[in-house]
Amino acid sequence: MFLINCPFCGERDQSEFSSGGEAHIVRPKQPTELSDDEWAEYLFMRKNIKGIQFERWNHVHGCRKWFNVVRDTSNDKILSVYKMGEKPPVNYK
């Protein structure tokens, strides 16, 4: 059961949050210009990394804000949290 440091509310129990999968996948600005394969790349393909992963979380039973999390999926340690629109911390990757 994670303790997640919501950038707006502080540390809260995981049960207040919902996970939104991989972060930094930008919705294409002009979907109609894309081939089936390109669209499928956006729609379906996810990295599912063992190790350091950038992912989205929503404080759904709290402030309802979405934000980003850097998590090591091999030990579940959350290394960093940052707001939507902010650049990912450079010391990971």
Partner 1 sequence: MPNYRIHKTEYIDETKRVSFKYDGKTYFGYEGDTLASALLANGIHLVGRSFKYHRPRGIVSCGAEEPNAICQIGSKKDLTEPNVRATELELYEGLEASSQNCWPNVKFDIGGINNFISPLIPAGFYYKTFMWPKSFWKKVYEPLIRLSAGLGKSPTEPDPDIYDHKYVHYDVLVIGGGVSGIIAAKMAAKNNLKTLLVDDKKILGGSTIYQNNESIKIDDKLSSEWLKNEIQEIKKLSNLTIKTRTSIAAYHGYNFLLAKENLTDHLPEEKKKNKIRQRLWKIRAKKVVIATGSIERPLVFNNNDRPGILLSNSINKYLDYYGVTCGENIILFTNNDSAYETSISLHKKGIKNIIVDLRKSASSELIKQAESLGIKIYFNHVVTNTFGYRKINSLEIMKLSEDGNTTVGNKIRLSCDCLGMSGGWTPMVHMHTQSGGKLDFRDEDQVFLPKENSEDQISVGSCNGDFDLENIIDKTVNKINKFLDIDNQDYQDTNIICSKENDKRNIWLLPNKIPLGKTKCFIDFQNDSTAKDIKLALKEGFRSIEHVKRYTTTGMATDQGKLSNMHALGIIADTAGVKMGTLGTTTFRPPFTPLTFGTLVGRNVGKFFEVVRKTSMHEWHVKNNAEFENVGQWKRPWYYPKNGENMHDAVQRESKAARDSAGILDASTLGKIDIQGSDASEFLNRVYTNAWSKLAIGKCRYGLMLNEDGMVYDDGVTTRISENHYLMTTTTGGAANVLSKLEDYLQTEWPELDVYLTSVTDHYSTASICGPNSKKILNKLFPNLDLSDENFPHMSFKEDKLENINCRIMRISFTGELSYEINIESKYGNSLWKMCIEAGKEFNLTPYGTETMHLLRAEKGFIIVGQDTDGTMTPSDLQMDWIVSKKKYDFIGKRSLYRSDTIREDRKQLVGLLTDDPKEILEEGAQIVSDIKSKPIDMLGHVTSSYFSPNLNKSIALAVVRSGKTMKGQKLIIPMENKNINVTVSDTIFLDKENKRLNA
By the criterion CB under 8 A, which residues form the site for partner 1?
1-3, 18, 20, 26-28, 30-32, 34, 36, 39-40, 43, 56, 58, 60, 64-66, 75-76, 84-85
Answer for which of 4, 6, 23, 70 binds Zn ion (CB under 5 A) is 6
Bridge partners, 82 (sequence order)? 68
H-assigned helices in 1-93: 36-44
Taking contact as CB under 5 A, which single stretch among the options 3-11, 29-37, 38-46, 78-86 is the one that binds Zn ion? 3-11
**Burial (CB count within 10 angstroms: exposed 0-12, middle 13-18, buried 19+), residue 54:** buried
Kindly report the backbone phi and psi dihedral angles of residue 61, in degrees, each rounded to the nearest multiple of 5, phi listed first.
-100, 40
Q: Min. distance of Cβ 34 from partner 1 in angstroms?
A: 7
Q: How far apart are CA 1 and CA 12, in angstroms?
A: 11
Answer for which of 34, 63, 78, 81 binds Zn ion (CB under 5 A) is 63
* Residue 9 binds Zn ion, judged by CB under 5 A: yes
